[in-house]
Amino acid sequence: MNNSIAQRIADFLKHYEPFLYLDSEAIYLIATQVKVLYLEKNQILFQINDKTHDSFYVVNTGEIGLNITSDSDDVLIDKCDDGDIIGLRPFFAKDNYLMTAKAREESILYAIPIEVFKPYVSQNQEVLNFLLESFASNTRNPHNTENKGKLISENVIYDDQSTEIQYYQPIKYTKKPITSKANHIIKDIAQKMVDHKIGSIIVEKSNIPIGIITDKDLRSKIATGLFPIEVEAKQIMSSPVITVAENLSIAEAQIMMLKYNVGHLCVTVDGTFHSEIKGIISEHDIVVAQANNPGVLIKQCKRATNSKDLRIIREKLTDLIQQSLDKNIPINHLCSITGEINTAISKRAIELAIEKIGTPPPTRFSWMAMGSQGRKEQLLMTDQDNFLLFEDVPDKDYDKVKSYFLQLAERVTKTLNKIGYEYCPANMMASNPQWCKSLTDWKKQFNLWINAPGDNGILMCSIFFDYDLVYGDEFLVEKLTQNIFDNTHKNELFYAYLGTDAIKSPPPLGFFKQFIVENDGENKDSFDIKARALMPMIDAGRLLALNKELRNVNNTYLRFKKLAEIEPQNEDLYLACADAFLAILTFRTKEGLQNGNSGRYLNLKELSKLDKVKLKNTFSPIQGIQELIKTRFQLTYFT
């Protein structure tokens, strides 16, 4: 017979995240362990520096305020009401609370034991993602009539600006972590973890990571009796280890953990699990590193209900980019984070479009970003380039299916335009019937471009070969990618055409080392940094990445870094190209932010002498990489 109180609690919880991701039986079992708390107005639930509780809390009725101390004053940063979660810190950190939670009116809360809820977190990625995002950011404020729907923290002006871009700073990690061997006994490993007060231990062979054992493994595999405590590490370790390079930003670390559903990242010399261990990053490191987290933008994307909400998010992202550049945050970190937020904005635009249509997609599909967004280099509000790929369907259904996706694409591109991403002047968008096709039709299209290149085919290759999945089915994308590599493999004619296109713009300096500028038009005497400096780097990186069949590496900087790894004889040149590309991109981004445009044309008169020297220095790698391309693809003879 059901407990009536537990049933009432379960009936309440099932309407709110993250409980709505669980089935009714699980919610009821959780509800049987819940304690009901009553707080009078101004009563404190916990204070700054209090030890963390063994429960987190869900507001049933009333209102709880969250405060921090700034310049000796209490600053309200959030209000929580029905269904909001409070006190998630015990999930992710062992240290004390960083906020004070106080009832702003009579309130009833449900206290949910951490240990009761943890198994549902480990078994359900949606639950974990929600908790991480909630912990990293603030909830919406439904009570602020003047700023309805906004975050409290958006309405508070902080005197201390040192944390505003902390999200992009490289994360500090534990160097020389404690390790073990694959044949070591779990009992000894557990004792070592206790002795060193750590929550994980890396299993290594010749200082190469081959696995990891965490508190979670000990709980789920040893404490449950699944394995005896005398087994060797290799029997319960998680493998492979998720590895990263050092200088990872806080945001990138959090995204990696969310992506792979792990709580630890192993830092290695080159970021792969084939190189030596340098350190380890834990969720606790992320928690410690961030007081306020711009990951709130991702959360806002998920909650946006219209294009106006998304436009505000994109404008705030522009502010973050400007602040980051002002504080010399590495632009490669900035590209990575901006790329994720741009993707989240586009993804939400697609979800809203599907909701407005009212019927689900008739078959699997993939929405693909191209160009700068596909390369995760879209720091400025440039025009949109995208295409849509849908699963093969019977001929009799083709027109109907395509009609649905064209309707969807029309809504999405319209929303993106309202956000600030202008329509592509050449109409290279999924709303164009030419760029909305089945997998088979797209294969035919790419095969035509590759095997009968010509000028138009090469132009399309330079745009469509830099694509990134925004929303939908990854399997379809893999099929298309494999088809591309099958057709480009040892295709000398294709590489000759693509190579010739990649070197069409020589280094932009005249005989006397002066900048080559525009001779006429509205941009007369300006330097076209996109056509004369950025595109030669992008085209070269794309060509060489295709030739080496590099998969899932679309970003120009990362392409050159990867090429440096696999071609040590050309390492210096590739690394110089990587650095030069970032410098050129920085020049363009600053120009665009300053003038509110694409940043394509630089007014050289506004550059300092030092900046002119820096810009000229980036042109030397262009010459070097173009010489390499000429030699590798024998373009002297082809042209």
196-229: per-residue pLDDT in tens?
888 899 999 999 999 999 988 898 898 888 999 9
Contact yes or no for 35/110 (Cβ under 8 A): yes
Q: Which two tokens stand for residue 333?
A: 């970190």
pLDDT category of residue 287 using cuts at 50, 70 and 90: low
Segment 536-565 mean pLDDT: 92
Instruction: Please give the single-letter amino acid code of residue 58.
Output: V
Match 């973890």 to its residue by tokens: 193
Coil, strand, or helix at residue 151? strand
The CA distance from 238 to 383, in Å, is: 43
The pLDDT score that the predictor gives to residue 518 is 84
- pLDDT by residue (tens digit) across 40-76? 988 999 988 888 888 999 999 988 888 776 444 566 6
pLDDT above 50: residue 163: no
pLDDT category of residue 183 using cuts at 50, 70 and 90: very high
The pLDDT score that the predictor gives to residue 137 is 46
pLDDT above 50: residue 346: yes
Segment 622-628 mean pLDDT: 93
The pLDDT score that the predictor gives to residue 268 is 93
pLDDT above 50: residue 157: no
pLDDT above 90: residue 82: no
The pLDDT score that the predictor gives to residue 638 is 45
Q: Which two tokens stand for residue 244?
A: 């990263």
Instruction: Please give the single-letter amino acid code of residue 505.
Output: S
pLDDT category of residue 338 using cuts at 50, 70 and 90: confident
Percent of the chain with pLDDT over 90: 45
Dihedral sign for Cα atoms in the order 592, 597, 599, 603: negative
pLDDT above 60: residue 88: yes
pLDDT above 60: residue 420: yes
The pLDDT score that the predictor gives to residue 1 is 52
Q: State the number of CA atoms in the 13 A half-sphere of 255 facing the CB.
A: 22
Coil, strand, or helix at residue 548? coil
3-state SS of 55-85 is EEEEEEECCEEEEEEECCEEEEEEEECCCCE
Q: With the CA atoms of 404, 410, 412 and 413 taken in that order, what torsion angle do they form, in degrees rounded to the nearest 10? A: 150
Segment 523-542 mean pLDDT: 92
- pLDDT by residue (tens digit) across 571-613? 999 999 999 999 999 999 999 998 888 899 998 888 888 888 8
The pLDDT score that the predictor gives to residue 174 is 87
C-alpha angle 619-624-625 in degrees, rounded to nearest 5: 100
pLDDT above 60: residue 155: no
The pLDDT score that the predictor gives to residue 295 is 62
pLDDT above 80: residue 282: yes
Q: What is the mean pLDDT of the chain?
A: 84
The pLDDT score that the predictor gives to residue 216 is 85
pLDDT above 70: residue 138: no
Lowest model confidence (mean pLDDT) among 115-124, 158-167, 229-238, 456-465: 158-167
pLDDT above 50: residue 156: no
pLDDT category of residue 169 using cuts at 50, 70 and 90: low
What lies within 8 Å, CB to CB, of 459 at 6+ separation is none
Lowest model confidence (mean pLDDT) among 150-164, 264-278, 504-518: 150-164
Segment 464-475 mean pLDDT: 90
Rg of the chain (C-alpha set): 27
Higher pLDDT, 508 or 258: 508
Segment 231-240 mean pLDDT: 92
The pLDDT score that the predictor gives to residue 208 is 93
The pLDDT score that the predictor gives to residue 476 is 94
What lies within 8 Å, CB to CB, of 264 at 6+ separation is 199, 200, 212, 214, 242, 280, 281, 282, 283
Q: Is the pTM of this model over 0.75?
A: no
Segment 29-34 mean pLDDT: 92
C-alpha angle 374-541-383 in degrees, rounded to nearest 5: 30
Segment 538-544 mean pLDDT: 94
